[in-house]
């Protein structure tokens, strides 16, 4: 796995999922998102608890297909796995990995805002919605609700902010300390923060829950939280 050194040099543009990011993305995730591996395993376990032949699992922002490949390696019956991403660089990496592992995973270059969701059993979005403009997020959530089967499930993880501004600042500081422990320098942390400004826009936990309700979901739970990172499971 290539080491993430994207922000060791001065940035010249806003953050985007280009080749430079795609080449180190797995390392970036494991070092930038607290308990990322554990959350991935938790989500996979939830899907496997209801696995059955032909069950459709759609991963939004599937990046290098790490999640789908892990799910593929653990499923005991053939399910239909598909990943959507709007970055060709990410999909190229994903295709190479799927071929290397001989995994039957469908990958598609697509905009999740305009994709036609239909008869989906499980939709997953790991730290993806936060990159959708806030005004478009509810519209997307409604499309996901309509595209899910009646027994369908949407699982998503997000970075969040807190209504208590003092607590929010403390959580940010704790998170930056975490990143330093993962080997990132203060310069790299500052550079990435600047690159992500107005690109990654987090909601509060309440705002995420209200968005789910406004889209039509009635069963909304949080199944994991570490500081300002939360995993939600929602059903119709």
How would residue 28 be classed by pLDDT, with cut points 50, 70 and 90?
Answer: low
The whole-model pTM stands at 0.86
- Quick check: is 26 in a domain? yes
pLDDT score recorded for residue 22:
47
- Quick check: is 66 in a domain? yes
Q: How many domains does the chain have?
A: 1
Percent of all residues in the chain with a pLDDT value above 90, rounded to a whole number = 67
- Quick check: is 5 in a domain? no
Which residue do the tokens 């826009």 mark?
201
Residue of 25 and 95 predicted with greater confidence: 95
> What residues contact residue 181 under an 8 Å CB cut-off, 6+ apart?
none
How would residue 16 be classed by pLDDT, with cut points 50, 70 and 90?
Answer: very low
Q: For the domain that residue 79 is a member of, what is the CATH number? A: 3.40.50.150
What is the tens place of the pLDDT at every residue in 145-193?
A: 999 999 999 999 999 999 999 999 999 999 988 988 877 767 666 666 6
- Quick check: is 1 in a domain? no
- Quick check: is 6 in a domain? no
How would residue 9 be classed by pLDDT, with cut points 50, 70 and 90?
Answer: very low
What is the tens place of the pLDDT at every residue in 90-108?
A: 899 899 999 999 999 999 9
- Quick check: is 11 in a domain? no
Instruction: Give the residue numbers spanning the domain of 229.
Output: 19-235
- Quick check: is 161 in a domain? yes
- Quick check: is 10 in a domain? no
Contact 21, 86 (CB under 8 A): no
């Amino acid at each position: 796995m290539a080491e993430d050194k994207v922000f060791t040099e001065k940035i010249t543009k806003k953050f985007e999922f280009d080749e430079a990011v795609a080449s180190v993305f797995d390392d970036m995730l494991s070092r930038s998102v607290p308990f990322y591996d554990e959350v991935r395993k938790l989500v996979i376990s939830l899907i496997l608890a209801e696995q059955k032949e032909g069950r459709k699992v759609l991963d939004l922002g599937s990046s290098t297909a790490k999640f789908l490949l892990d799910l593929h390696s653990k499923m005991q019956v053939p399910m239909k796995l598909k990943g959507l991403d709007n970055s060709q660089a990410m999909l190229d990496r994903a295709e190479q990995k799927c071929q290397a592992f001989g995994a039957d995973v469908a990958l598609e270059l697509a905009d999740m805002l305009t994709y036609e969701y239909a008869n989906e059993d499980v939709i997953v979005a790991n730290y993806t919605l936060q990159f959708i403009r806030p005004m478009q997020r509810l519209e997307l959530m409604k499309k996901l609700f309509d595209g899910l089967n009646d027994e369908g499930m949407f699982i998503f993880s997000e970075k969040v902010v807190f209504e208590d501004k003092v607590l929010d600042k403390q959580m940010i500081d704790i998170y930056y300390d975490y990143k330093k422990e993962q080997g990132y320098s203060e310069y790299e942390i500052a550079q990435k923060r600047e690159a992500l400004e107005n690109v990654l826009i987090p909601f509060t936990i309440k705002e995420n829950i209200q968005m789910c309700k406004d889209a039509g979901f009635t069963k909304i739970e949080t199944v994991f939280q570490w500081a300002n990172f939360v995993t939600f499971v929602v059903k119709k």
